[in-house]
Amino acid sequence: SQLPHSSRLPPGSGLFATKCSGCGEKISASEFVMRALESVFHLSCFCCCVCDRQLRKGDEYVLKEGQLLCKMIREGLLPSENDSPID
Ligand SMILES: [Zn+2]
Ligand SMILES: [Zn+2]
């Protein structure tokens, strides 16, 4: 069964453990990560929190309050939530 993960690690656990800012899981030293400022993400967790697009090296993004936003969002290019989808 799956339990919701706690965002808090017990004190002293894994001095060098890096936590993914996306899913909150530990990142092992052998894993590839994406870094955004002081935050570290699994590659698969490095997604825009609004449009879910996975961001890659070289993609422009903003990190706002710990949440990743792609450049589209930053520039206000995405339709607002009130817009109906265009078919
Ligand atoms: Zn992750
Ligand atoms: Zn986006």
> Can you tell me the distance from the alpha carbon of 70 to that of 78, in angstroms, rounded to the nearest whole number?
10
Cα distances (angstroms) measured from residue 47 to each of 9, 22, 57, 77, 85? 23, 8, 12, 17, 22
CATH class in words for 5-75 = mainly beta
Ligand 1 centroid from CA 86, angstroms? 32
Question: Over the stretch 2-59, which tens digit does the pLDDT of each residue have?
Answer: 566 555 555 544 556 789 988 999 998 888 898 888 889 999 999 998 888 899 888 8
> Can you tell me the distance from the alpha carbon of 53 to that of 77, in angstroms, rounded to the nearest whole number?
14
Ligand 1 centroid from CA 24, angstroms? 6
Ligand 1 centroid from CA 33, angstroms? 9
pTM for the whole thing? Answer: 0.61
Ligand 1 centroid from CA 83, angstroms? 31
